[in-house]
Chain A
Amino acid sequence: MVESLTMRIAEKGKLAVAGAIIGIAAIVLTVLGNPGNMGFCIACFLRDTAGAMHLHTVPIVEYVRPEIIGIILGSFVLSVITGDFRPRGGSSPLLRFIIAFIVMVGALVFLGCPLRMVIRLGGGDLNALVGLLGFIAGIGVGCIFLANGFTLGKAEKQTRLEGTAIPFMTILLFVLFLAVPSLFLFSETGPGSMHAPAAASLLAGLAVGVASQRTRLCMAGGIRDIFLVRDFTLISGFVAIFIAVLAGNLITGKFSLGFADQPVSHPMHLWNFLGMAAVGLGSVMLGGCPLRQLILAGEGSSDSAVAVLGMIAGSAFAHNFSLASSANTGPGINGKIAVVGGILILLAIASIVTLRERRK
């Protein structure tokens, strides 16, 4: 038991450091120009990148976010160095694409991924607290399926070419962004126009990629481990991000407690709850939150790479079909139908898989 305790304390220490790095990076990026409470947001940044690549054409959310590129490459480089780079794939790739698509729609109805939810909490945005309750509920439901045998199946070894495809696509995107920016669309107003200098964003992304790869930090995993095995290790990263962001906001005078007029946020409680419930359930089914999918993709998981592509496609659909919420006013009827329909599809997939596994 002593051994177990020291192991947990050491891991919690590492997670606390990683969380602090991420929290500080988020604050610095906001000071350098990123939108409010959006130092990092995997969902929003994939969405902005999709817009820059003409996959949707909503003029206020278009920018090639170097943070995303940095996170994938940070994880890739570190995992190659440490031997964690192991190309694997073939665990229900299409189902993963669909689940990730729904996760993205849920995140864009809430207006943020789980990482941004924590960052919003640290800024005093109480709508994120409602989102957190939904997230916990979604994870709780996902854990019931997991405990009863839910699995997307076994991944098989893949070639190095398969494993390195997404890091190289990422590098190509960054080179084109720097060398031929005219290929892309860039917002002139709105959140897409607000960004830190590209070098700072890339560096911050690399730091987050390295820290998250090393500690396996995952927003959904922390809560999931508490439900499933009463293990509070992974949640400490989540708590550390919150504390670092809260401290940073208090120091920079950006902390503002309340529901109304929060940056890129809306006070429609039901939809904040349901949006994050979809994200929580989907993240448990995928084995990790959107940040964790980027990290695993960098480590050579083509299943997670497919999930990233699913999120990109989901973000494009969310904006092309008006599923995403607007800041302040929340989701329209399309977004509401999409979230409820998405949760039903997730429940159907989870039920069918779990029933099949139990019959085995």
Chain B
Amino acid sequence: MTELDTSGYSCPEPVIMTKKALKDSPEGLAVLVDNRASKENVSRYATALGYKVKVEEAGQNWKLIISK
């Protein structure tokens, strides 16, 4: 599964990065986020597109598994 690391970026950039990455891998991808705002915004964006989002804790950060 493709991984996208958005740590260090704050919203809306992680959402835009996810939007672009989903164009290249429409089946889904894993997005690493390092703040709650991005976690919620990316999840909301992906679910609005009809994807399922699973949130995994990754240390202090989160890994969002976005899949069909």
Contacts and interface: CB of A to CB of B under 8 A. Distances in A.
A151 B13 contact: yes
Contact of B44 (A11, A155, A287, A301): A11
A296 B11 CA distance: 11
Contacts of A146: 12-13, 16
A231 B10 contact: no
Contacts of A231: 44-45, 48
A164 interface: no
A228 B34 contact: no
B9 A7 contact: no
- Size category, A interface: 20 to 34
B8 A228 contact: no
Given A7-B43, A146-B13, 6 more contacts: A1-B47, A155-B9, A216-B37, A216-B40, A233-B44, A287-B11
Interface in B3-55: 8-13, 15-16, 19, 34-37, 40, 43-45, 47-48, 50
A259 to B, nearest CB: 34
Interface in A245-296: 287, 296
A228 B47 contact: no
Nearest to B16: A146
A233 B41 CA distance: 10
Q: State the majority secondary structure of interface residues on B.
A: helix
- Size category, B interface: 20 to 34
A11 B40 contact: yes
A307 to B, nearest CB: 12
Interface of A: 1, 3-4, 7-8, 11, 82, 84, 86, 88, 91, 146-147, 151, 154-156, 216, 221, 224-225, 228-229, 231, 233, 287, 296, 301
Contacts of B37: 216
A194 to B, nearest CB: 35
Nearest to A230: B48
B10 A155 contact: yes
A4 B48 contact: yes
Contact of B45 (A3, A147, A155, A229): A229
A228 B15 contact: yes
Q: Which 4 A-B pairs have the closest CB atoms?
A: A154-B8, A4-B47, A155-B8, A4-B48
A93 to B, nearest CB: 14
Nearest to A6: B47
7 contacts: A3-B47, A146-B16, A154-B8, A155-B8, A221-B12, A231-B44, A287-B11
B66 to A, nearest CB: 13
A287 B10 CA distance: 7
A224 B13 CA distance: 12
B12 A228 contact: yes
Contacts of A229: 12, 15, 19, 45, 48
Nearest to A156: B8
B4 to A, nearest CB: 13
Contacts of B44: 4, 7-8, 11, 231, 233
A82 B37 CA distance: 13
Contact of A154 (B9, B40, B45, B60): B9
Contacts of B35: 84, 86
Contacts of B40: 11, 216
A231 B48 CA distance: 9
A91 B11 CA distance: 13
Contacts of A82: 36
A231 B45 CA distance: 8
